[in-house]
Amino acid sequence: MEKRKDGFLIDKAATEKDFIFGTRSVMEAIHAGKEIDKVLVQKELNNDLIKELLQLCKAEKIPVVRVPDAKLNRITRKNHQGVVAQMSSIVYASLDNVIDNCFAVGKSPLILVLDHITDVRNFGAIARTAECAGVDAIVIPEKGSAQINSDAIKTSSGALNFLPVVRVKNLFYTCRELQKMGLTLVAITEKTEKVMYDADFSSPVALIMGSEEDGISQEIFGIVDDKVKIPMAGNIESLNVSVSAGVAIYEALRQRKK
């Protein structure tokens, strides 16, 4: 994986079949309803057709990244015309639909929010655990999240083919929306004295996991309803994020099975 300064991850291992090349080809794919992760556009291009593409991407909420021509040439030697779209390996879900469906069947929603979890294998392992435990959806940001590619699907043992994944433009505002929908935001963090066994995971809840490097972002950390930690008895201070997510998810499952 290659991480850009803007937070996007480009999958170096992806093959040409994972991409669409050329401005009109990309536009036709969008109009056809193809699921696209992001569109890479050469920095200097700003003609009428590019402007039309940018407007289309904005309307369809498809992330656009301006990149140098050399970046596109590393992806393909074909005539890309300064535009390359990376295809998504899954179909993203709507958060409103996920929550509405839970309440419609009398289920207390259990949502997992991943704040800048960028490692593909960690993401895949988290998704596998989440699907096995009956988590209703994983929520990720457009920028700074692991690429959902064949490696992620393989690591998840196919769980990503069944588990709804919601991709959002602004994770902070989405967390606010989850609160308005009646969910409790619970941060899983070492920056608290309260252990997770003392929290209530049986009500509608969104568990928030941060990256191993930076943890949960400060703006999200500032609006959560509860902060809990996984108790540690050894000399090492923290667990791998995929293991932490599994521990928290199964504590929620344990409480809900009472």
216: CATH: 3.40.1280.10
For residues 29 and 102, membership in a common domain is answered with: no
Question: Residue 3: pLDDT above 60?
Answer: no
pLDDT number for residue 115: 96
Last residue of a domain, one of 55, 87, 119: 87
Check if the beta carbon of residue 31 is closer than 8 Å to that of residue 95.
no
Is residue 120 located within the same domain as residue 198?
A: yes
Examine the fold and report which residue of 87, 103, 121 is the final residue of a domain before the chain moves on: 87
Residue 164 and residue 245 in one domain: yes
- Name, of 141-145, 176-180, 230-234, the range with top average pLDDT: 176-180
pLDDT at residue 217 is higher than 50 = yes
- Verify that 107 and 220 share a domain, yes or no: yes
pLDDT of 98 strictly over 50: yes
The whole-number pLDDT of residue 11 equals: 44
Among 87, 109, 143, residue at a domain's last position: 87
Please give the residue range of the domain that contains residue 78: 2-87
Do both 163 and 220 map to the same domain? Answer: yes
Q: Which pLDDT belongs to residue 12?
A: 45
Helical ranges in the chain per DSSP H:
23-31, 48-59, 69-75, 95-104, 120-133, 150-155, 171-180, 218-221, 241-256
Q: How many domains does the chain have?
A: 2
Task: Compute the distance between CA of residue 111 and CA of residue 134 in angstroms, rounded to an integer.
Answer: 10
What band does 16 get if pLDDT is binned at 50, 70 and 90? Answer: low
Half-sphere exposure of 1 (CA within 13 A, CB side): 18
Mean pLDDT computed over 86-114: 93
pLDDT band per the 50, 70, 90 thresholds, residue 128:
very high
Q: How many whole angstroms separate alpha carbon 56 and alpha carbon 170? A: 19
Burial of 127 (0-12, 13-18, 19+ CB in 10 A): buried
Residue 2 pairs in a beta bridge with: 10
How many Å separate Cα 86 from the centre of its chain?
Answer: 16
Record the tokens describing residue 211, joined without a space: 């990256």
- The residue with greater pLDDT, 14 or 211, is 211
pTM above 0.85, yes or no: no
| Model confidence band, residue 32 (pLDDT cutoffs 50, 70, 90) | confident
The CATH number of the domain where 37 resides is what?
A: 3.30.1330.30
Q: Which residue has the higher pLDDT, 180 or 234?
A: 180
